[in-house]
């Protein structure tokens, strides 16, 4: 009986929202016995699928796809940024996490910035730059989970940087929006613009200097970035601009293996990474959701949205108050994620009226622009990886001679010395980027949704779409969402696909509803891969809010069958 119920459960989840003539989502899930890679640009997804076909693991495919995205989507990610990842090893059943976010320079202090004429955290420029962690993250992930040689996983990215690629639509729009930032220096202008303007949709784009950087990393290893020629170029660029980075800042950094944090949501286990990322906020939202009447009958209703928006406000007040580098501040993760605390917070929600003035709670202490990609291989290993420069083209500072930007993650520090997230030497800032993982019974799922402060609330909505509202992974990713990108007030953005009657009801409850496009980039594009362990079948979904797709590894149908080879002998 137990086995029969388990099979029924899995079949139900896999066929949710599948009425062929009546569904509200546009795309179908990608389904294959082979591996699948889902990213925000099709060439990157294809590169990852090719790596799988060459015998690579899900992590090999993820690193290869990430490297391609640094070429084809350079405003969102790059070697000058940070990285977080979760990796599910099918053989051991273990989920591992890595935090490859870099700290501030050892010489960086609030007093020093004031001396330089700054009275708030710089949002761009060299003083917003923190140590880039991406390449060392790649190194550690590949050492532990890679199968192919290090050089092999960079071949697709090196190819596109040198030979060029046709620019895609949504990425071109982001490129166009950043023209002012890209015009800030002669080198940036020559490397990324055409006569002062963004390349056109479909125009071939090449970045030979980035190809050189990828060549160096591929041939010399990650140490070339920490203390070799690329490190020297980063320091030279910083010195020219009056920056505070030192050789010891780059050489002294190492990505850190961390233990994922989790909560149980209506029988599903949801995993995120611990601080300094905002993963705990997604889990806190879900814990509050669990105290609210959300079910299939309420899917898409004004009442469900009202409850979720109010839960977001509560969790984000705690995010602003408590999230910081745990090496500098004891973040009360256990208290924030306790069920008693969730019940206490949920009681503050008025079912009939929006509140604009929630305060952070008092949990008991306990012992912009981004890419997200997901990969699953034929063995069921899953990589859930996110990488970012923060704002579009990061700090606006390009490493001269190597064609990539440095991130501006330092912009997320607080300038108030009493705050847990206050700027300090060798400290990691509050980080928005979060990969996630979800499992129940025989299903394993790696997922993520991009977009700064949008991410935690988007994660919670995605999980609720699957668990509460019975959607399959593509429907759950596509479903219209809300987002709130600040920490106070009753303003909230919703996609245009939210019905007018629902928007009117929210307005009557006091929400200040701002309607965006039907598939708004404010809500963040996302990717999902899922493994049905019982059947040995993989599923994937890719958001239409990005230029990408989920692409499966090709089946070996062109290989000569073993029986035919024997027959020719």
> How many whole angstroms separate alpha carbon 403 and alpha carbon 542?
29
Dihedral over alpha carbons 155, 156, 157, 160 (to 10 degrees): 120
Q: Are the C-beta atoms of 409 and 79 separated by less than 8 Å?
A: no
The two tokens of residue 412 are 């997320």
Q: Are the C-beta atoms of 337 and 284 separated by less than 8 Å?
A: yes
Q: Are the C-beta atoms of 216 and 65 separated by less than 8 Å?
A: no
Q: Are the C-beta atoms of 36 and 380 separated by less than 8 Å?
A: no
> How many whole angstroms separate alpha carbon 173 and alpha carbon 177?
6
Q: Is 367 exposed, middle or buried (0-12, 13-18, 19+ CB in 10 A)?
A: exposed
The two tokens of residue 362 are 């008092």
The two tokens of residue 83 are 């990285």
Q: How far is CA 310 from CA 33, 196, 280, 352, 451, in A?
A: 41, 44, 17, 11, 20
- Among this protein's residues, is 483 annotated catalytic? no
- Residues, the chain, total? 569
Cα angle value 377/526/441 (rounded, 5°): 50
Q: Are the C-beta atoms of 303 and 469 separated by less than 8 Å?
A: no
One of 39, 130, 168, 370 is an active-site residue; which one?
370
* H-type alpha helices, 130-205: 134-145, 150-153, 155-163, 169-177, 179-182, 186-192
> How many whole angstroms separate alpha carbon 349 and alpha carbon 307?
7
Q: Considering only CA atoms, which of 141, 112, 124 is closest in space to residue 373?
A: 141
Please give, one letter per residue, the 3-state secondary structure of 409-444: HHHHCECCCCCCCECCCCCCCCECCCCEEEEECCEE
> How many whole angstroms separate alpha carbon 561 and alpha carbon 446?
33
Catalytic residues: 370
């Amino acid at each position: 009986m137990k086995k029969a119920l388990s099979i029924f459960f899995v079949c139900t989840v896999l066929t949710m929202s599948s009425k062929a003539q009546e569904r509200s989502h546009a795309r179908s899930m990608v389904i294959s016995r082979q591996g699948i890679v889902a990213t925000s640009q099709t060439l990157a997804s294809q590169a990852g699928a090719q790596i799988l076909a060459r015998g690579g693991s899900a992590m090999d495919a993820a690193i290869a796809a990430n490297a391609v995205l640094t070429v084809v989507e350079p405003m969102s990610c790059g070697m000058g940024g940070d990285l977080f990842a979760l990796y599910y090893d099918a053989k051991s059943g273990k989920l591992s996490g890595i935090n490859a976010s870099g700290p501030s320079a050892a010489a960086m202090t609030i007093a020093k910035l004031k001396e330089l004429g700054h009275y708030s955290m710089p949002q761009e420029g060299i003083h917003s730059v923190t140590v880039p962690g991406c390449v060392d993250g790649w190194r550690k992930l590949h050492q532990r989970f890679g199968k192919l040689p290090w050089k092999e996983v960079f071949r697709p990215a090196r190819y596109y940087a040198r030979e060029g690629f046709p620019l895609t639509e949504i990425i071109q729009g982001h490129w166009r929006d950043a023209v002012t930032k890209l015009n800030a220096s002669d080198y940036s202008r020559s490397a990324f613009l055409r006569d002062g303007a963004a390349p056109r949709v479909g125009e071939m784009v090449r970045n030979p200097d980035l190809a050189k950087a990828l060549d160096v990393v591929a041939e010399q290893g990650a140490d070339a970035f920490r203390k070799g020629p690329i490190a020297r170029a980063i320091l030279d660029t910083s010195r020219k601009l009056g920056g505070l980075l030192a050789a010891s800042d780059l050489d002294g950094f190492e990505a850190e293996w961390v233990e994922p944090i989790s909560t149980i949501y209506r029988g599903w286990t949801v995993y995120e990474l611990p601080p300094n990322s905002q993963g705990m906020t997604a889990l806190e939202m879900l814990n509050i959701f669990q105290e609210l009447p959300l079910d299939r009958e309420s899917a898409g209703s004004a009442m469900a949205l009202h409850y979720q928006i109010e839960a977001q406000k509560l969790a984000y007040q705690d995010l602003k108050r408590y999230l910081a580098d745990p090496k500098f501040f004891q973040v009360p993760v256990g208290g924030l994620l306790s069920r008693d605390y969730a019940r206490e917070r949920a009681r503050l929600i008025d079912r009939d009226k929006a509140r604009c003035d929630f305060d952070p709670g008092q949990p008991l202490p306990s012992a912009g622009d981004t890419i997200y990609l997901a990969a699953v291989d034929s063995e069921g290993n899953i990589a859930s990886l996110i990488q970012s420069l923060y704002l579009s083209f990061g700090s606006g500072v390009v490493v001269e001679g190597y064609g990539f930007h440095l991130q501006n993650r330092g912009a997320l520090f607080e300038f108030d010395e009493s705050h847990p997230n206050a700027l300090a030497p060798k400290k990691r800032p509050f980080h928005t980027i979060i990969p996630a993982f979800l499992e129940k019974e025989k299903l394993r799922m790696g997922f993520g949704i991009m977009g700064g402060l949008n991410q935690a609330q988007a994660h919670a909505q995605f999980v609720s779409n699957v668990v509460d509202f019975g959607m399959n992974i593509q429907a759950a990713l596509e479903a219209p969402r809300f987002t709130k990108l600040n920490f106070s007030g009753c303003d909230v953005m919703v996609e245009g696909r939210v019905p007018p009657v629902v928007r009117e009801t929210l307005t009557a409850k006091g929400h200040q509803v701002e309607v965006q496009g039907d598939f708004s980039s404010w809500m963040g594009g996302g990717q999902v891969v899922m493994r049905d362990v019982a059947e040995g079948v993989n599923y994937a979904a890719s958001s239409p809010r990005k230029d990408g797709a989920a692409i499966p590894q090709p089946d070996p149908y062109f290989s000569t069958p073993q029986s035919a080879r024997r027959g020719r002998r």
